[in-house]
């Protein structure tokens, strides 16, 4: 099955499920640009923190999202555990999500297509994506992966606190009223709990190929 001329791949899932790893590998495989949309929300959370503001303050978070400084995307604190909680809190404000919508939609609409990963790509940002994946794994396995990742960067939070952070974020992201974390209609489920990175990527490519060929058949 040939690759369609405009291929948009939506990859969603909870924290540390492996969606970013898979999205980056899919982007390499199909020669597409990739956007980690979580970084946008992390940058808003960081801006609010650096300004000494409360992430629960919707007006402050929205102002930060509307004036987002791209340099924050390279800040060493962007990927920290503390900042992940801030990102999760600011991302629940509907005007923050609205402020970040256009840039994500434009990324998906670029010629040739794109791979985006996050929480609402298949539901809100690119509901007509050519292929949608919902990547998941058991919470304990996700916590172990994130714990190793943070430790390698010198962030020595305990495994128990990483698990608690992930569970708190999952609950907040799934329970919010706007764009909650949910498996999109038509999204293929990919549980990476027992898969190596290579096996998960191969499975993801197979699922994308299946979605593309299904679409092709529907168009006939
Ligand atoms: N299938 C896997 N097996 C083992 N480790 C994995 C797997 N997928 C991802 N990882 C590792 O787990 C961590 C979190 O993966 P990542 O792709 O960043 O997750 P997410 O984008 O969902 O938060 C990274 O250190 C990554 O290398
Ligand atoms: N499309 C997205 C992406 C992230 N987010 C929020 O941003 C936080 C950080 O996202 P992330 O993708 O960087 O987090 P990880 O899955 O990498 O741990 C999430 O917990 C969500 O609250 C969102 O609401 N919508």
In a domain, 218, yes or no: no
pLDDT digit string (tens) for 111-132? Answer: 999 999 999 999 999 999 999 9
In a domain, 68, yes or no: yes
Who lines ligand 1 at CB under 6 A?
Answer: 13, 15-21, 145-146, 149, 192, 195-197, 200
**How many CB atoms are closer than 10 A to CB 68?**
17
Residue 79 main-chain phi, psi, to 5 deg: -95, 10
Domain that includes residue 170, residue range? 7-206
**Is residue 18 a contact partner of residue 197, using CB atoms and an 8 Å limit?**
yes
Give the closest residue (by CA) to ligand 2 atom 16: 15
Query: The CATH number of the domain where 191 resides is what?
Result: 3.40.50.300
In a domain, 148, yes or no: yes
Q: What is each CA distance from 161 to 120, 146, 148, 152, in whole angstroms? A: 26, 11, 13, 16
192 closest CA partner among 19, 56, 60: 19
| Predicted-complex ipTM score | 0.99
CA–CA separation, 48 vs 43, rounded Å?
A: 9
In a domain, 212, yes or no: no
Residue ranges for the known binding site for ATP are 13-21
In a domain, 214, yes or no: no
Cα(38) to ligand 2 centroid in Å equals 4
Q: Confidence band (pLDDT; 50, 70, 90) for 217?
A: low
In a domain, 105, yes or no: yes
Give the closest residue (by CA) to ligand 2 atom 13: 38
pLDDT digit string (tens) for 28-66? Answer: 999 999 999 999 999 999 999 999 999 999 999 999 999
In a domain, 149, yes or no: yes
Global confidence as pTM: 0.97
In a domain, 109, yes or no: yes
Number of domains in the chain: 1
Give the closest residue (by CA) to ligand 2 atom 1: 118
CA angle centred on 160, ends 158 and 162, rounded to 5°:
70
**Is residue 129 a contact partner of residue 149, using CB atoms and an 8 Å limit?**
no
End-to-end CA distance of the chain: 13
Q: Which helix (H) or strand (E) holds 135?
A: strand 131-136
pLDDT digit string (tens) for 148-199? Answer: 999 998 888 999 999 999 999 999 999 999 999 999 999 999 999 999 999 9
């Amino acid at each position: 099955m040939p690759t369609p001329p405009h291929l948009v791949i939506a990859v969603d899932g909870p924290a540390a499920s492996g969606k970013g790893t898979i999205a980056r590998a899919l982007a390499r495989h199909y020669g597409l640009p990739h956007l980690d949309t979580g970084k946008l929300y992390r940058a808003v959370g960081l801006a609010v923190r650096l300004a000494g503001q409360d992430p629960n303050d919707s007006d402050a978070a929205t102002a930060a999202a509307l004036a987002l400084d791209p340099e924050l995307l390279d800040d060493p604190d962007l990927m920290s555990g503390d900042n992940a909680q801030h990102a999760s809190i600011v991302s629940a404000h509907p005007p923050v999500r609205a402020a970040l919508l256009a840039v994500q939609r434009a990324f998906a609409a670029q010629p040739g297509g794109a791979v985006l990963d996050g929480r609402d790509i298949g539901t809100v940002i690119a509901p007509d994506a050519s292929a949608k994946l919902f990547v998941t794994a058991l919470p304990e396995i996700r916590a172990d992966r994130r714990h190793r990742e943070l430790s390698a960067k010198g962030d020595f939070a305990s495994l128990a606190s990483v698990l608690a952070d992930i569970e708190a974020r999952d609950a907040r992201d799934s329970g919010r009223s706007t764009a909650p974390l949910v498996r999109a209609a038509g999204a293929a489920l990919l549980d990476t709990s027992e898969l190596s990175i290579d096996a998960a990527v191969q499975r993801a490519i197979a699922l994308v190929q299946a979605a593309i060929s299904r679409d092709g058949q529907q168009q006939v």
